[in-house]
Amino acid sequence: AQSVTQLGSHVSVSEGALVLLRCNYSSSVPPYLFWYVQYPNQGLQLLLKYTTGATLVKGINGFEAEFKKSETSFHLTKPSAHMSDAAEYFCAVRPFSGGYNKLIFGAGTRLAVHP
C-alpha cells in the first residue's frame, strides 16, 4: 500500500531563513505528488503538484518542491520564510492507478516562524 512519511511533525525557523519540509513516499511507480497548506480553522489549499515533466515544481507563495525518484522524495522549500507562512503543511500522493483521484496524506508538519 502507498504511504507518505513527513519527517518532523514540528519545524521552527526564523523569519528570512530557509524553509525545508521533508516528504518521502513509498511506491514502485512514481505517483502524482502534492503539497497542501492548512491555516488555522481553514481547509486545505493546494501549494503545488508534480505529475510529469520537470522535476522542480514552483507553487504559490514562493514555495517549490523537487521530485527525486531515486530518493522517493518530494521535499518542499522556500528560500526565505515569512511570518505568514506559519501553518500546517501536508504532503500527499495520488497513486498512479489511472482514473481515480484518491489522495493519501502524510501526518503533516507544523511550521512555526519566529521573528
Point out which residues bind another protein (CB under 8 A).
Answer: 4, 9, 36, 41-46, 49, 90, 92, 99-103, 105-108
Min CB(80)–another protein separation in Å: 27
Min CB(83)–another protein separation in Å: 22
User: Cβ–Cβ contacts within 10 Å for residue 26, how many?
Assistant: 13
CB nearer another protein, residue 98 or residue 115: 98
H and E: helices and strands count for the chain? 0, 12
CB nearer another protein, residue 15 or residue 22: 22
User: Cβ–Cβ contacts within 10 Å for residue 22, how many?
Assistant: 17
Q: How far apart are CA 65 and CA 73, in angstroms?
A: 10
CB nearer another protein, residue 2 or residue 15: 2
